[in-house]
Amino acid sequence: MDKRVYLCLAHMSGREQDFIREAFDTNWVVPLGPNVNAFEEELGAFLGGGKRVVALSAGTAAIHLGLVLLGVGPGDEVICQSFTFCASANPAVYLGATPVFVDSEPRSWNMDPELLEEAIRDRIARRGRKPKAIIPVHLYGMPADIDAICRVAERYGIPVLEDAAEALGSEFEGRKCGTFGALGALSFNGNKMITTSGGGALIVPDDETRRRAMFFATQAREPFPYYQHEQIGYNYRMSNICAGIGRGQMTVLDAHIAHHRRVHARYAAAFAGVPGITLADNPDSRWNSNFWLCTILVDPAVSGTTCEELRLRLDAEGVETRPLWKPMHLQPVYAGNPCYVNGTAERLFGRGLCLPAGPMVTDGDVDRIAACIRACVKSPVA
């Protein structure tokens, strides 16, 4: 068997060790430090728009901290995208709030702006007050229809916290994902576009919001010579060592994005004319996904196979794939939560598969994966 191919393995630039060694040599091995400061500045410059960045211990921490800054608390509701990972919704529960789930629209697979407005109106009618925040997701790197979502949010005066964990480098109308809402969240987990081993970041609009974020991320310590705490804070700051990895990764970020897009283009060519296999793509010229993971939909009636049959066959051939996210409104832990659905997320979950696309995936890997899928299709391939 050939080497096993994974969805998105980390790839080191070779510069990471330089920044880590510098941290050890200067004894900056604790949270905060020169690498953290530089990493935040480099991320801010990459994102553009005058945004500031606060490097944190995880992407989930960024979403949690963002909700703290937005004043979410017990009894509040937070509108969350249903078709995504649980890290978008769980932080609302940490704060005593209730996630309200909204289904996706079929073009981007992300939060449906029309259904979002329907949900807001219904929550106001039922509770006499509006939700406290909206968390759309740029899933698999594909931008949400974020302009439309933000317009809905503005009509009702509800802040948007973008979950851009998978979308570093993705753009909508030429603007980086994570910079449209009041706040944005990034992830640097080991399988993301760049990694800091673990880690994440909160994207904020100005220096004052950055100061508040750092205050809560460092246990909400008041400015006294002794430790005094008047609010609940969190131990969420990134270490100087992890930030050193991030600085090395920033030197290859553009190359990683270009690689993911080349892999997607190769899959697109390989699946052209294959019955019942549809590769997710940018809906139109406004979208520019980083294609963090390449994803396909499998139509059993046309292809003569299912996504689960493909997953098992590829696994036997040494290829890691993964079903698309099980919607949050179908998760047992959220069975009683309000949800506004149109069937899109459930259809995608039943027919979708994530394919390897990371920087360690070669052209040969893509060709082997595509050939395996083509061999499983029982309808004639054009």
The domains found in the chain, sorted by start residue, are 16-252 (3.40.640.10), 254-376 (3.90.1150.10)
Contacts of 290 (CB under 8 A, 6+ apart): 141, 167, 168, 169, 170, 193, 257, 260, 261
Query: In this predicted structure, what is the pLDDT of residue 176?
Result: 98
Residue 317's identity, in one-letter code, is E
Q: Can you name the residues that pair with 123 across neighbouring β-strands? A: none
Residues 181-222: pLDDT tens digits?
999 999 999 999 999 999 999 999 999 999 999 999 999 999
Q: Given a cut of 90, is residue 310 above it in pLDDT?
A: yes
Of the given ranges (7-11, 168-172, 339-343), which has the lowest mean pLDDT? 7-11
* C-alpha torsion 78→83→86→87, nearest 10: -70
Q: What is the mean pLDDT of residues 280-287?
A: 98
Q: What is the mean pLDDT of residues 280-296?
A: 98
For all residues of the chain together, what is the average pLDDT? 96
Residues 355-381: pLDDT tens digits?
999 999 999 999 999 999 999 998 766
Local confidence band at 2 (pLDDT 50, 70, 90 cut-offs): low
Q: Given a cut of 60, is residue 305 above it in pLDDT?
A: yes
Contacts of 108 (CB under 8 A, 6+ apart): 139, 142, 143, 144, 145, 283, 287
Query: In this predicted structure, what is the pLDDT of residue 291?
Result: 98
Query: In this predicted structure, what is the pLDDT of residue 382?
Result: 56
Cα 296 to Cα 139, 255, 321, distances in angstroms: 14, 24, 11
Contacts of 125 (CB under 8 A, 6+ apart): none
Neighbours of 2 (CB within 10 A): 10
Q: Given a cut of 70, is residue 51 above it in pLDDT?
A: yes
Residues 127-185: pLDDT tens digits?
999 999 999 999 999 999 999 999 999 999 999 999 999 999 999 999 999 999 999 99
Residues 226-240: pLDDT tens digits?
999 999 999 999 999
Whole-model pTM? 0.96
Query: In this predicted structure, what is the pLDDT of residue 140?
Result: 98
Contact 67, 92 (CB under 8 A): yes
Query: In this predicted structure, what is the pLDDT of residue 162?
Result: 98
> Angle 240-250/34-47 helices, nearest 10 degrees?
40
User: Phi and psi at residue 111, in whole multiples of 5°?
Assistant: -45, 130
Taking the CA atoms of the chain, what radius of gyration do you get in angstroms? 21
Strand-pair category, 133-135 with 77-81: parallel
Contacts of 379 (CB under 8 A, 6+ apart): 275, 276, 302, 303, 304
Contacts of 345 (CB under 8 A, 6+ apart): 82, 83, 103, 104, 325, 327, 329
